[in-house]
Amino acid sequence: MEQNKVDAEHSLIKPQTLEEVRTMIRTHKRNDFIFSSIGLLTITFALLTLLILFVDLVMDGYPKLNYQFFTDFPSRRAANAGILSAWVGSSLIMLVTFITAVPMGVAAGVYLEEYAPKNWFTDIVEINVTNLAGVPSIIYGLLALGLFVYTFHLGQTIVTAGLTLGLLMLPIVIVSTREAIRSIPVAIREAAYAVGATKWQVVLHHVIQYSFGGILTGIIIGMARALGETAPIITVGALTFIAFLPPAPVTSVAPFISFEWLQSGFTVLPIQMFSWLSRPEHAFHINAAAAGAVIIMLTLVMNGTAIWLRYRIRKNIKW
């Protein structure tokens, strides 16, 4: 009786004979093979799609990608139009963004990792930073429109756009600074304290120095993102047709530096591309493709540098 019951239970387990076991192993091995083929195909498919899209873009824009394209202002005639005001605008805005976001982001990251006490307040700041990184960029645009343009009356200018992108970039810098600092062993800090360094000395001479590569990675990735952002810049009121350059930051008369350019109207590369793209004529679409190729190249080079830098840091880590 008892034996029968055990047998009955055993018969529920599928492979009974050696032949069945072999079949089962074969099936499972086949499943393994099928899935790994599907996986490889999926990844190849996804990467290939993106590659085709990029190649298509570069091919479309190729006839326009010459020296003139970079030195011409936008024009009503597609053949004469270029991206001079766009790349100058982008560079100046990146400068403002860099100056605002980097010191603030690094300082915030250092505070949260090295100084902040573990309490509810720090938790709130932390959740905040994570959440900010996920807020759609157009919301930053609305913030900037309400705050910088109409509350602080900064106008629809380079300084407004730079500050907006600075806010957008801030969480990225904070997160990467924190990650870089976290990887430094406590022993380094203890050694510095042991010879009488103050907290700030430890931070300045050791923590920031050793995490510099990681922080730099975050800064480059953030700058690349700011460079490609379109939506928030549209909401703060970028112009789509600009046939002048902002006043030069360096002048020939004393004091040789002018800040008038901060108050200038502007356009940036992605906006220029967007405005060409919204026109019905095919000739402007070619310009858009050429501008897109320039944007892709710039962001790929920046992100590539950042990834390579991080890879090198990981490889050369000393502790």
Q: Which of 65, 231, 245, 309 binds other proteins (CB under 8 A)?
A: 231
CB of 263 to other proteins, least distance (A): 19
Our finding on whether 60 is near other proteins (CB under 8 A) is yes
Name the one range near other proteins by CB under 8 A: 77-85, 86-94, 208-216, 274-282: 274-282
Our finding on whether 48 is near other proteins (CB under 8 A) is no
Our finding on whether 142 is near other proteins (CB under 8 A) is yes
Name the one range near other proteins by CB under 8 A: 10-18, 146-154, 181-189, 251-259: 146-154
Q: Which of 23, 91, 131, 251 binds other proteins (CB under 8 A)?
A: 131
Name the one range near other proteins by CB under 8 A: 87-95, 142-150, 207-215, 251-259: 142-150
Our finding on whether 251 is near other proteins (CB under 8 A) is no
Residue numbers 157-196 binding other proteins by CB under 8 A: 167, 170-171, 174
Tell me how far apart the alpha carbons of residues 214 and 210 are, in angstroms, rounded to a whole number: 9
Residue numbers 77-116 binding other proteins by CB under 8 A: 103-105, 107-108, 110-112, 115-116
